[in-house]
Structure 1
Amino acid sequence: MTNASPRAPRTVVPIERSLLISEAFDQAQVTELRHSVTSCAHAAGLSDERLDDFVLAVNELITNAVRHGGGQGSLRLWRQAGELVCEVADDGSGISSGRLDDRSRPAADTAGGWGLWLARELSDTMEVVTGEAGTTVRISAALAATERVGRHHVE
């Protein structure tokens, strides 16, 4: 028997999410989906260069899903806790660990290989889960900040 008082129950505060887009896509929907992301991101509070950067990063991810992930994918965009989050998933065969670990900028004369690098550079955070069943990439942009400070990339 101990004299320790019982712990107070933990209070879990749920993160409020506001789903803005949830859509499957293929090559035919890429342009329309990019326009929808632009509208939603602007309405959520991104503007100017931050808006352009985020939309370009999303465009690279959806283009990669079409080109390398089986020709189609799904996109979810939501707002949560002061940030805008976009997740793009595909059913491709995955990304090699060597490719994921390579954080160097592609050579200027390289025709491909820019997608993940750009998405990483243009977003505040980036997470990649990949395997034989497909790839899911999640990026975020802070809504309140005017500059990206303390960027953290998890892969």
Structure 2
Amino acid sequence: MREDQAWPTVGVIGTRILLSETFDRNAITALRHSVASCAGAAGLTGDRLDDFVVAVNELLTNAVRHGGGTGRVAVWAEDGGVVCEVSDSGRGLPAERPEPMVRPPANTPGGWGLWLAEELTDTFDIVTGGDGTTVRVSSRTSLSQP
């Protein structure tokens, strides 16, 4: 996809954008650090921050590995939380995901990315099809919030 081309989205992206850019495999490490900085500035701390960064890293890696080599990431703050959406322009997922998501067998070398992203965040939404896959995750800055 071109830089000026519209990327698919799960829904409306918030207005308090902390990060929005396209990426390829060479940008993943720098993006992971940027996501950590943005999410920390928005109020995520400790294990919740670490979990969010791991989840986003899995989504970035999946977009490059399985979604055509490039993607778009957006991170924004919402009242009481941080949201990240990662989109790619691949062919989409080949089959429906089980609900609830099932942990991959321990001896499976792949297939952990989406499961981890869902396990490590408070919300997980995915839209997939022939034009690509978009995953949105969010984490609340405090466990006491609804």
Tell me, yes or no, whether TM beats 0.5: yes
Match of 2:92 in 1: 94
Q: What is the aligned counterpart of 1:32 among 27, 30, 33?
A: 30
Amino acid corresponding to residue 37 of structure 2 in structure 1 = S
Q: What is the aligned counterpart of 1:55 among 45, 53, 56?
A: 53
**C-alpha distance in structure 1 between counterparts of 2:14 and 2:47, whole Å:** 26
**C-alpha distance in structure 2 between counterparts of 1:141 and 1:108, whole Å:** 26
SS in 1 for 2:16: strand
Matched, 1:79 2:95: no
Match of 1:144 in 2: 142
Amino acid corresponding to residue 137 of structure 2 in structure 1 = I
Q: Deviations over 1:19-40 (max 9, x none)?
A: 0000100000000000000011
**C-alpha distance in structure 2 between counterparts of 1:144 and 1:56, whole Å:** 18
Number of equivalences: 133
Which consecutive residues of structure 1, in runs of 5 or more, have no partner in the other structure?
Answer: 1-14, 151-155
- 8 Å contact 2:45–2:141 — kept in the other structure? no
Which consecutive residues of structure 2, in runs of 5 or more, have no partner in the other structure?
Answer: 1-12
- 8 Å contact 1:16–1:81 — kept in the other structure? no
Match of 1:44 in 2: 42
Q: Which has the higher contact order (CA 8 A, sep 6+)?
A: 2
**C-alpha distance in structure 2 between counterparts of 1:75 and 1:34, whole Å:** 11
**Percentage identity across paired residues of the two chains:** 56
- 8 Å contact 1:127–1:138 — kept in the other structure? yes
Q: Deviations over 1:63-86 (max 9, x none)?
A: 000000000100000001211000
Length-normalised TM-score, structure 1: 0.81
Match of 1:17 in 2: 15
RMSD of aligned alpha carbons: 1.8
Amino acid corresponding to residue 61 of structure 1 in structure 2 = L
Residue 143 of structure 1 and its aligned partner are, at CA, apart by 1.4
Amino acid corresponding to residue 56 of structure 1 in structure 2 = V
**C-alpha distance in structure 2 between counterparts of 1:81 and 1:52, whole Å:** 20
Length-normalised TM-score, structure 2: 0.86
Displacement over 3 Å in runs of 4+: none
